[in-house]
Amino acid sequence: MPKERFENSKGFVLSSIGAAVGLGNAVRFPGLCAKYGGGAFLTVYIVALAVLGVPLLCAEIALGRRTGGGAPKCFASLSPRGEKAGWAVSFNSLFVAVIYAGLIGWILSMAVKIFPLSLSGGGNARDYFFTEVLPSRKDGVISGFSPLVLVCILATWAAIFFCLAGGIKRVAKVAAYSVYLPLLLLLFLAVRGLFYPRCGEALYALFTPDFSAFLSPELWATALSQVFFSLSVAAGIMPAFGACLPERTNIFKCSVIISAADFCVSLLSSVVLFTTLYGNNLENSLLSGGLNTAFEVYPVALSRLFGDCKWLSAATGCAFYLSLALMAIQSAVSMAEAALSPLAEVSGVGKKRLSAVVCAVCAAVCCVCSTTAAPVLVDIGDKFCNCYLILALGAAESALIGYGGGRGGLADEINRFTGRLKLNRAAFTFSVKFVCPAALVSLTIWNIAELCAFGGLYGGYPVWAQFAFGWTPVALCALSGFAIAFFFRPKAVKRKTARKIP
């Protein structure tokens, strides 16, 4: 099977930025800034990005280029037992892609509904989505579904299949739209925010550090976590993209560009959120963060965006949610690619056929995100797969990179086609060998202790929901490597043996 390649480094950078920039940048990052002292959170985040994020991002891309494969092959080059951890990383990304696709279905539904909602003056915009568009239950019981959300979810998976079936080159072409168009809209909203009377107050709250916040361990833990989540490291995406790098690509330069672009989008989103909410006297909603921001806070602010000019507010609101969907689709495509690339290699199945099967199965599972249980399952699944498990896998990955037998020469691989600006070998070694493992292991222990403090349960949800939507996906990811070895490796061995028989 011929190896796919990006046409140029620009396609790789755009695809990587598209994978990194997602809902976390647009809705989670601004809420964390509000919660953890504005400039204090930004300061810790920038330090963590430089000391932890960039070195680990460089290491993942370099491993992908050196081995020519995704996470399983990369981890296997570091340790014989590393391959199973690589499969767990890949399948965890696929589970997170299912969650993301469900959220994209919600976002597209809101893009449809925000227009009439804004024209009507906003009404009860705060409770509109979870009462009118997707009626939900807090007990996780399925008692109905939203046809609109279901259609949007199926359309999302059709778009994901379209991107995956076209290979890595189509992913790069789609990234040009999923990066530039949302960026233009964010710039437009940021400029609009600067004209609010309370703009100065909003920017002061965002950028002025609360120095007492530096003493909070939770601030440091959250900032470190956000760096890893935001850059999509420990998700199997960057090794898969690194394996498709064109010749003579400057890994260090690309990593710096990706990291800087990801941070700038997060910062721009924060400016938009702070100025928009302060301008509409909704600053008390800043601390809600997450899904509350996207589906309860933003509908109120967007419906008031241009005052009496309701049609302009409606059009901007629709464009805003479509931009969110574009960002999230590119991230979901990249997550699915992290699992598809190594699966196609080990199974020998064509990429297009495999994409069709995987997307069909994932779409069927994702349909549950259109039911009354959707908010509960999304919250639980995101916490277990996109927080607990990804941090544990990140700790394992950083230990493999820092202490694995194949880590020698990784700095040379990163600097192979660099010019004057090179990655400092001593700083890189110190980061991947000491700082990254210590940080990720500490974060993993922090989260395990937090979960144990609540008896192994999260958020007060029913026990059956925690097992169905949380522990079951975690267990499936952990066992995926053994399943791959059982179903595919024996066949590969038999084929090799058969060729040797005269």
Query: Is 2 contained in some domain?
Result: no
Specify whether the CB–CB gap between 70 and 341 falls below 8 A.
Answer: yes
pLDDT value for 495: 39
pLDDT for 403 equals 86
Any domain includes 190: yes
**Is 316 domain-assigned?**
yes
Buried-exposed string 109-130: b where 16+ CB fall within 10 A, e elsewhere? bbbbbbbebbeeebeebbebbb
pLDDT at residue 406 in the model? 62
The pLDDT of residue 496 is: 40
Q: 323 lies in a domain?
A: yes
4 within domain boundaries: no
Helix, strand or coil, per DSSP, at residue 148? helix
CATH number of the domain enclosing 197: 1.20.1740.10
Residue 19 structural domain: 9-500
pLDDT of residue 3: 67
Tens of pLDDT, residue by residue over 388-402, are 898 899 889 989 998
The predicted pLDDT at position 497 comes to 35
Longest dimension (CA), the chain: 84
Q: In sequence order, which residues have a C-beta less than 8 Å from that of residue 292 and are 6 or more positions away? A: 285
Residue 447 in any domain: the answer is yes
> Which pLDDT value is given to residue 501?
33
For 33-87, the pLDDT digits (tens) are: 888 878 999 999 999 999 999 999 999 999 999 999 899 999 999 988 899 999 9
Query: Rounded distance, CA 249 to CA 12, Å?
Result: 9
pLDDT for res 274: 92
Buried b (16+ CB within 10 A) or exposed e, 64-93: bbbbebbbbbbbbbbbeebbbbbbbbbbbb
pLDDT block averages, 10 residues each, the chain of length 502: 76 91 86 86 93 92 92 91 93 95 96 89 78 88 94 97 90 87 92 93 92 85 85 90 89 94 94 91 75 82 87 92 92 94 89 94 96 93 89 90 77 86 88 90 86 77 89 93 80 38 33
Per-residue pLDDT at 123: 66
Q: How many other CB atoms are found less than 10 A from the CB of residue 453?
A: 8
Please give the torsion angle defined by the CA atoms of residues 141, 147, 151 and 152, in that order, rounded to the nearest 10 degrees: -70
Q: Whole-angstrom Cα distance, residue 47 to residue 435?
A: 12
Q: How many domains does the chain have?
A: 1
- Asked if the structure places residue 350 within a domain, the reply is yes
Measured distance CA(457)–CA(451) in Å, rounded = 6
Query: Could you tell me if residue 1 is inside a domain?
Result: no
d(CA 170, CA 161): 11
